[in-house]
Amino acid sequence: MRAAGPLLLTWALLLGTAASQQCHPAGPAAVLRFTDRHAELRVPALHRVPSSLDPLYGLVRRCLDLIQQNPLPTELLRTALNEPGSVRTAQVVQYELGYVVCAAVALLFAVAVPVAGMCFCYCRSRRRCGGRLRAHRRSLGCRRRCLLACLSLTSLIMLVSASCALVSSQRVKGQMEPGLGAVPSTLRTLQQHLDNVPQGVQMVVDKFEVPRKQILSDLGGLSRSVGLSIHAQLSAVTYAALADLQDRAAELQASLQHLQTVHSTARALAAAQAELEPALRERRRGAVALLDDPRCTSCASALGRAQRLQLGADFAKVPSVEKVLKALAGLPRSDFAEMIRQGNGTFNSIPELAVERMAQLIQDLRADLARTAEKVQSIADSFPLPDYTRPASEALAEAERRSRPYLREARRFERYRWIAGTVLCSIILLILACNVTGMALGAYGLSKREDPSDYECRGEAGAKFLLVGVALAFLFSWLLILLVFATFLVGGNIQTLVCRNWVNQEIYKFIDTPGNLPPSMNLSRQLNLRRDSNLSSAYRECKGGAGLWEVLQLDSSYDLDEHLRTPKYTADLQKRLGGFTVSLGDVRLLRSEGRQDLETFARSGLDELDYGRFQEELQNPVVQTSLPGLARSLEGLQKMQRNGTVAGRLAAEARALWHMQNSTVRAQEALVAKLGESVQFLSRLAPHLKERVRRTLATTASLEARLPLQAQQILRQELGCFTRKELRYFTQYLNWVGQTLREDVASCQPLATALDNGRVILCDRIAEPWNAFWFSLGCCTFLLIPSIIFAVRLTKHFRPIRNRLISTGSEETCPFHIPRVTALKL
């Protein structure tokens, strides 16, 4: 069990190293950046822009929904497209009934208002209309104010409507040019999008260069990085084992030196004691005889110490170390310093050794990467779209060619509409100016007139301005109603027949229904859609981000996901890295002769020596009585003697003691101190010697056996980290390929975006302000009728009134006095 401790410690260190191991050489995979060079072929999505006229647009749409409540005329359109000559007028009138009613109203207005104008002119020529009031009543003021308020309100509504008409007309003009220009540009962009699919796919495939360069860069530093990782993770236990081995070697060397010191010093002390004992006995006899002499004064105090003047320690009794020295004879037979240096050098050479042993692996991985690039090229080679997009591309080119004449005509008619609308809106504003000026001058003239029968030039001028506005209204009303009806008929049908059914996708359903379109307009065949697909489903799939190959009719199915499976391109790399094994060399920390030296050291019997007896003898002094103390006592007694002979003998005895102390005893005390140091070192080392040597040998043997296995395990872990990192590069690239092909290069979404853009341009940006224009202009046109009525009625109130006597009890009038100044008549 005691021997298992070092093994468990080594295993714990190795397992702790493996548990804390991180993917050092691979590290986190970088995020690859791919440039997008296909952006110029995208169709930007257009959206309806919120406007301050949105409430007006909503009101116009509700009015059109009331006028045209019929659904999409499927039968009528089918007949018109397939057999135009068989279209019956009754069918058209039935569908356009709301517009027919509006046409009748417009025709009635166009005829009635000019006729009313001619009648009014005839009446004026006969001085029967627009003249003067013939009587003054109390209610004239109230009537005048009511007429002023009604005409002012009518003029204000007309002003707002005319302003909306001008703003809407300008918006139509502003949106028409870019809207019509977007048609051929969008068709060209779609055609280029289809034609450039092969180049786009090849561009996407060529971007494999990005992960390939990154992987090659990682491969360049893989072997050294793996070697450094192995070295870093195993360095702690390896250096600890080498340090422990160095300590045992140092202990062996020091123990040999101390054993030799103990052996030589003990023999020297024993020989010195043999020489010291007769001299010490002679000194004791002479000192005792002298101090016991009756002539020696006060010598009894030193007599006892002189009698104890004998050897203290007996170094002949210390244990012999010759047996241990004999067991260690010839050690160390190996050079531990060189052995440790070689083991350290072998371990430190692991990074360079890894570079050397993994060179062939790196070369094979580069070859695998080159073959992977050929497999990636197969994505472009097997992409089936170029042969199947040609019909759609030709259809788009034909549509772009045929649309140009119609677009030129649309621009021309829009220019005429804008000119006519601006002129007629300006006439309405001129009529409003006449009304406002007439009301202002008339009201001012009334305020300055003291007698209703008096002539007032400003009031007369106001009446004339009102009549000028009336004349302009009669003169241009038929032009206004014609422009309103023409724009209403076009814009209303676009809204109710096209836009409304475009939003709810009824148009797509009509196109998808077999037989609705003539064979020459079979869009599914022209666009080469799948047999089980139609325009509605293709539109939904394209809008959802489907690829062209998913909606076109291909001879054989093409599964992009199958082509973008990561294992298809990484199988060789994973297999080569997963099966790679290499020996990085055996790290020999302790050779056999060194192991034998340590085992001999542990069995030498160093721990069996009786260090207690050494300590007992070392604690005893060399001489029991202190020679310096006794010598100083004799010197003190010398001074107290009256007998010169005794004093001389005491002095001589003291000098002899000092000489013995300085020449013999002191040298032996130095040897005793030296012996004590060696014995103390050996006594501290001996109890733990066998355990330390056993632990060092077990740790070294276990580490030498486990280091290659642990290095191999770390190698596999590091290669696994590298494999996962490179797989992430492949995954990033293949995901980008799939996303780019579906959303950009071979995306069907531009077709759906183009259809949505067409609806936004035609319906939201052109039709809505167009309809707002005729609606606002129509309001102005129909408000001309109350404006004419209120203006004519108000004209009489601005002219002088003929006076008559008015009875308070009846409506009868009496002749009045004709004023001196008569009113001018138009």
Which of the residue ranges 41-50, 125-134, 210-219, 638-647 has the most confident prediction, judged by mean pLDDT? 210-219
Cα–Cα distances in Å, from 569 out to 74, 213, 379, 729, 786? 54, 16, 11, 12, 82
Which range among 103-107, 189-193, 532-536 shows the weakest confidence by mean pLDDT? 532-536
The whole-number pLDDT of residue 139 equals 59
Backbone conformation region of residue 127, classed left if phi is above 0, alpha if psi is from -120 to 50, else beta:
left
Exposure of 33 by Cβ count < 10 A (0-12 exposed, 13-18 middle, 19+ buried)? exposed
pLDDT digits (tens, 9 = 90+) for 550-607: 787 664 556 777 888 888 888 888 888 888 887 766 777 788 888 888 888 888 888 8
Closest CA to 340 of 247, 445, 226, 427: 247
Which of the residue ranges 614-618, 694-698, 810-814 has the most confident prediction, judged by mean pLDDT? 694-698
Q: How many residues does the chain have?
A: 826
The whole-number pLDDT of residue 22 equals 54
Secondary structure letter of residue 529 according to DSSP: B
* 225, two tokens: 């990085």
Residue with structure tokens 């040999």? 256
Which of the residue ranges 145-149, 164-168, 717-721, 752-756 has the most confident prediction, judged by mean pLDDT? 164-168
Cα 299 from Cα 295, distance rounded (Å): 9
Beta bridge partners of 805: 814
CA end-to-end distance (rounded Å), the chain: 138
Look at residue 127 and tell me whether its pLDDT is greater than 90: no
Cα–Cα distances in Å, from 367 out to 371, 575, 818? 6, 14, 123
Average pLDDT rounded to a whole number, residues 722-736: 90
Cα 37 from Cα 79, distance rounded (Å): 47
Burial 784-819 (b: 16+ CB within 10 A, else e): bbebbebbbbbbbbbbbbbbeeeeeeeeebeebeee
For 806, half-sphere exposure in the C-beta direction (CA atoms, 13 angstrom radius) is 9
| Extended beta strands in 367-474, E state | none
3-state class of 819 per DSSP? coil
Question: 319-322 long-range CB contacts below 8 Å, 24 or more apart?
Answer: 319/609, 319/610, 319/613, 319/614, 320/263, 320/266, 321/259, 321/262, 321/263, 321/266, 321/609, 322/263
* 94, two tokens: 């039935």
Look at residue 257 and tell me whether its pLDDT is greater than 80: yes
Cα 789 from Cα 355, distance rounded (Å): 105
The CA-based angle 791-797-801, given to 5 degrees, is 145
Backbone conformation region of residue 35, classed left if phi is above 0, alpha if psi is from -120 to 50, else beta:
beta
Contact between 388 and 528 (Cβ < 8 Å): yes
pLDDT digits (tens, 9 = 90+) for 512-535: 888 888 877 777 777 777 777 788
The whole-number pLDDT of residue 102 equals 92
Average pLDDT rounded to a whole number, residues 133-161: 80
The CA-based angle 273-278-284, given to 5 degrees, is 110
Closest CA to 224 of 365, 351, 349: 351
**Residue 712: which residues within 8 A CB-CB, separation 6 or more?**
581, 582, 583, 584
Contact between 215 and 369 (Cβ < 8 Å): yes
Average pLDDT rounded to a whole number, residues 428-449: 85
Cα 296 from Cα 310, distance rounded (Å): 23
Q: What sign does the dihedral 216-218-222-224 (CA atoms) show?
A: positive
Phi, psi of 449 (to 5 degrees): -90, 125
Question: 12-16 long-range CB contacts below 8 Å, 24 or more apart?
Answer: 13/236, 13/237, 13/240, 14/237, 14/706, 14/710
Phi, psi of 806 (to 5 degrees): -115, 120
Which range among 376-385, 652-661, 751-760, 801-810 shows the weakest confidence by mean pLDDT? 801-810
One-letter amino acid identity for 253? Q
Cα 337 from Cα 343, distance rounded (Å): 10
The whole-number pLDDT of residue 557 equals 59
Residue with structure tokens 């094979």? 364
The whole-number pLDDT of residue 128 equals 61
Closest CA to 747 of 34, 45, 31, 33: 45
Cα 650 from Cα 635, distance rounded (Å): 7
For 740, half-sphere exposure in the C-beta direction (CA atoms, 13 angstrom radius) is 24
**pLDDT over 70 percentage in the chain:** 88
Say how many C-beta atoms besides its own lie within 10 A of residue 133's C-beta.
Answer: 16
Burial 612-639 (b: 16+ CB within 10 A, else e): eebeebbeeebbebbbeebbebbbebbe
Residue 23 pLDDT level (bands cut at 50, 70, 90): low
pLDDT digits (tens, 9 = 90+) for 324-354: 888 888 788 888 888 888 888 888 888 888 8
Compute the chain's Rg from CA coordinates: 62
**Residue 438: which residues within 8 A CB-CB, separation 6 or more?**
462, 463, 464, 465, 466, 467, 468, 469, 791, 794, 795, 798
The whole-number pLDDT of residue 800 equals 64
Look at residue 438 and tell me whether its pLDDT is greater than 70: yes
Look at residue 186 and tell me whether its pLDDT is greater than 50: yes
Cα 278 from Cα 258, distance rounded (Å): 31
Mean pLDDT for all residues in the chain = 81
Q: Which helix (H) or strand (E) holds 525?
A: helix 523-526
The whole-number pLDDT of residue 526 equals 72
Which range among 121-135, 231-245, 360-374 shows the weakest confidence by mean pLDDT? 121-135
pLDDT digits (tens, 9 = 90+) for 212-226: 999 888 888 888 888
Cis peptide before 332 (omega within 30 of 0): yes
The whole-number pLDDT of residue 817 equals 37
Beta bridge partners of 552: 529
3-state class of 811 per DSSP? coil
Give pTM, 2 decimals.
Answer: 0.65
**Residue 390: which residues within 8 A CB-CB, separation 6 or more?**
none
pLDDT digits (tens, 9 = 90+) for 440-479: 888 877 776 655 555 567 777 888 898 899 999 999 999 9
Contact between 161 and 776 (Cβ < 8 Å): yes
